[in-house]
Structure 1
Amino acid sequence: MGQGTRVWTTETVQSTQRFDYWVGAICECFLEMEADSGVRKEFSARLESTEMAGLHLNRVTGSAQDVYRTRAAISRSNGNYYYLLCKEATPCNIVQHDRNEARLLPGDLVLIDSRQRYSLHFPGRVDTLSIQLPIGWLDAWLPNAQQMLGRRVDGNSGWGAVLAAYLRQAASAASALPAAQHREHLGGLIAAAFVTTAGESAVAEDVHLSERIEAAVGARFAEPGLSAAEVADSLGISVRTLYRALAHSKQSFAALLNRHRLAAARRMLGAPACRHLTIAEIGRRAGWLDASHFTRTWLAHTGQRPSQSRREPASNMSRAD
């Protein structure tokens, strides 16, 4: 236990008063909050808080409980902070402002903001490290902090693992480094872990979105004049977002649309059931506005006119896929 460490423990309180004592302890150490527990009769918990040059490192252990930061509690608070939480041994669920929910596994981290509602659900037991971060200080290290709220950071790989290990080491030997050095190390590690996570989240979001765009174009390619704006509108996104997602998958909207139309034309040109269709009709059914546009596009991609491809075996038309 480092210098400047305060301790709250239910061991010093009668069992009938332990939970009420605990609610007072977390409000005194952190901020105004509400709590509940399904094991009040057997409740026990311990909180250690160590000050490090304006930052407070806290370790909480104890019985299962739920903790809430409500609008009423926010209105009663004189100050606010960010809190970086690291789960040590058992899973828990964190919800920030009723919209961002993270399930933390052992080692994982999450950032929450006391200016917004949050709830912390510890169904098994509490075994959590947290560090109280001044808002201005963190915003200087992590300018997009609001976008990171409630997002799980994997504490078992990459910079997340380094940050989680640093918090555990700081909690066990807080006085090993001057407090100012702790602030510098911690700020750099938070920036590295959360910026990396934000990048990975953006990539995953773009991959998922490009799949949705692909499916939407696959369903509507036969509509003459289909535009990127129409597809974006059907997906509830902006055209800019659509283009960004497609750029991540290294393709353009025009190329994607042409690929689906060419594949449909290839199937019809090679299908015995479509032998009665004219070249112009095949182009129209595949989504081209006129036969000449279809012919030019097909020639550019296959080196043949559609009528020539129709006479070729299906295997020779694979360049149009």
Structure 2
Amino acid sequence: MRSLSSWSSENLPESMRLRGWRDALHAEVLEMDALPLQRDGFFGSIERCTLHCILPHQARGAPQKVLRSAAEIARGPRNAYYLLSQPQLPWRAVHVGRTSILQPGDSILIDSREPYEFDFGVGLDDLSVELPIDWVERWLPEPSRLIGRPLRGDAGWGLALRGIKEALVPRGLVDRPCSQDELIEDQLGGLLSLLDDVDGAQRPAMQVAYERSLQVMRARFMQPGLTAAEVAADAGLSLRTLHRAMAAQGQGYLTTLMTLRVEAAAGLLAQPRFRRLGVGEIGRRCGFTNASHFARQFHRQRQMTPQAFRAHALR
């Protein structure tokens, strides 16, 4: 039977919780820092359960930033790859020169030998899997092609990856037979291999342009007034190419932008921890400049008002 390793700030005085959480991250995961994003009510917990080679973690906590600097990399003797996702909450990652907004269920592969910054602005509810360096490089001959790139969890092999990853909840692994470990790990490695397809030359040019544009939009959609010209510049495209790429997907720039904003707003409205935030404030955080515009766009896509959606989600 496997053992479950766990730590929680629950029994610590509030004044000691952040320090205890930082120490727990160092001991249970890696040398890194955590910066709270709210004045009070900080908390954190982490559980781990080792399989044959890989080590799933589940961490929960208050809104925070988690950072690993070059100095912390130099101090810490241990390194690995990490496959991270948040099943229920959006978050932001900055790693190897890429900034990514990840929606619930999206995954990202991180190399701990490179600095990173994670912004869990709406709360920490993370599932991560620690992957040995040699194990990853057996499945991915060139891991640099995949690290730091969002792996969408809503379709294709990314959806399959989401399914197996969300089954790796440490507490649920304790009673599973150890004889299944290598099978589980082979399935995970195989899915990473199938996702290692980032050679744009093998896909139509408009598809590549669309994917680059969408990645920028996912990183910046919450900025009010975001223009197609700004997205095109960030994606290294001409404005004409961006519009052609969007049209090839059957959606224009503004429709795509509004969809991203409404999806993010729906995620916040459905979370009990955000009850205290007014509907207008949630819209503002997702890039809408006024409440009436937010309400119209939300109703257009969800066929109900934001208030009705929240009431239904939280009942």
Q: Place the TM-score, normalised by the shorter chain, in its bin.
A: 0.5 to 0.7
Which amino acid letter does the alignment assign opposite residue 124 of structure 1? V
Which structure 2 segments of 5+ residues have no match?
Answer: 211-235, 237-315
For the structure 1 residues 39 and 180, does the alpha-carbon distance in structure 2 shift closer, same or farther, using more than 3 Å as the test? Answer: farther
Deviation per CA, 1:139-189, whole angstroms, max 9, x where unpaired? 101112111111111112112112211122221531454446334433433
RMSD of aligned C-alpha atoms?
2.5
- Where 2:150 maps in the other structure, the secondary structure is coil
Which amino acid letter does the alignment assign opposite residue 91 of structure 2? C
Q: Say if 1:148 and 1:194, in contact at 8 Å, map to a contact too.
A: no
Match of 2:126 among 125, 128, 131: 128
> 2: distance between equivalents of 1:34 and 1:108?
23
Kindly state the Cα deviation for residue 35 of structure 1 after the two structures are TM-superposed.
1.4
Q: Does residue 91 of structure 1 match 2:60?
A: no
Which structure 1 segments of 5+ residues have no match?
Answer: 212-235, 237-321
Q: Say if 2:160 and 2:191, in contact at 8 Å, map to a contact too.
A: no
Which amino acid letter does the alignment assign opposite residue 125 of structure 2? D
- Where 2:89 maps in the other structure, the secondary structure is coil
Which amino acid letter does the alignment assign opposite residue 69 of structure 1? R
Q: Say if 1:158 and 1:193, in contact at 8 Å, map to a contact too.
A: no
- Where 1:207 maps in the other structure, the secondary structure is helix
**Structure with bigger gyration radius:** 1
Q: Say if 1:53 and 1:180, in contact at 8 Å, map to a contact too.
A: no
**Greater helix proportion:** 1
> 2: distance between equivalents of 1:160 and 1:170?
16
Matches within 5 A, 1:68-87: 68-87=67-86
Matches within 5 A, 1:279-290: none
Matches within 5 A, 1:130-169: 130-169=128-167
> 2: distance between equivalents of 1:108 and 1:196?
13
Q: Say if 1:142 and 1:191, in contact at 8 Å, map to a contact too.
A: no
Which amino acid letter does the alignment assign opposite residue 114 of structure 1? S
Q: Say if 2:3 and 2:174, in contact at 8 Å, map to a contact too.
A: no
> 2: distance between equivalents of 1:108 and 1:65?
19
> 2: distance between equivalents of 1:15 and 1:69?
24
Name 1:20's counterpart in structure 2. Answer: 19
Matches within 5 A, 1:270-309: none
For the structure 1 residues 190 and 154, does the alpha-carbon distance in structure 2 shift closer, same or farther, using more than 3 Å as the test? Answer: farther
- Where 1:128 maps in the other structure, the secondary structure is strand
Kindly state the Cα deviation for residue 5 of structure 1 after the two structures are TM-superposed.
1.0
Deviation per CA, 1:44-93, whole angstroms, max 9, x where unpaired? 12111111123211001110010111010000111100000021111101
Deviation per CA, 1:89-114, whole angstroms, max 9, x where unpaired? 111011113x1222111111000000
Greater mean deviation of Cα atoms: 102-111 or 199-208: 199-208
Which amino acid letter does the alignment assign opposite residue 18 of structure 2? F
Which amino acid letter does the alignment assign opposite residue 118 of structure 1? Y
> 2: distance between equivalents of 1:160 and 1:93?
18
Name 2:42's counterpart in structure 1. Answer: 43
Which amino acid letter does the alignment assign opposite residue 192 of structure 1? L
Which amino acid letter does the alignment assign opposite residue 117 of structure 1? P
> 1: distance between equivalents of 2:200 and 2:177?
35
Matches within 5 A, 1:53-72: 53-72=52-71
> 2: distance between equivalents of 1:91 and 1:201?
27
Name 1:30's counterpart in structure 2. Answer: 29
| % identical aligned pairs | 28
Deviation per CA, 1:245-288, whole angstroms, max 9, x where unpaired? xxxxxxxxxxxxxxxxxxxxxxxxxxxxxxxxxxxxxxxxxxxx
Greater mean deviation of Cα atoms: 201-210 or 182-191: 201-210
Which amino acid letter does the alignment assign opposite residue 196 of structure 1? L
Q: Say if 1:153 and 1:193, in contact at 8 Å, map to a contact too.
A: no
